[in-house]
Structure 1
């Protein structure tokens, strides 16, 4: 990616492709994007467009070294992030079960 090489040339060494894409988004005046949105768009750009939001968030959690999180915890945090923070644990688990069926 051209932008990745440019970063290296400026000694702004970036560790992974998602970081490169996130910085590129900021440079393109898309600075209001949160990290999940950036990662989601990056996944789509990488032809992973069939991924649903939960899968994207789950992979992002793993990338952020939260790899010990189980699926329920990931889904619970995603619900909170989506402004569904009022959901209790049973509701979260119930919706997750429906999603997995």
Structure 2
């Protein structure tokens, strides 16, 4: 089965440095543990043959809707960081 027409913009929804779609593709692959020979097949997670297809559809929907919500948020006006904050607390001011 081939999934088509996934909007490129859906890949713009990023969590912890990766798009949700990329994470899903990486995690939902058939893998065999070299040491034990145990096969981890995401297709076995459900009796529903459309499980993974429907999961991808939901992730794409959530990605697109989240991007729209974020686009509608007002701009963030942060206060300047105090100069005496510990280094670990500081965030970059790009």
TM exceeds 0.5?
A: no
Is the radius of gyration larger for structure 1 or structure 2?
A: 2
TM-score range, shorter chain: under 0.3
Tell me the TM-score normalised to structure 1 length.
0.24
- Structure with the greater relative contact order (CA < 8 A, sep ≥ 6): 1 or 2? 2
Tell me the TM-score normalised to structure 2 length.
0.26
Higher normalized strand content (fraction of residues): 2
Higher normalized helix content (fraction of residues): 1
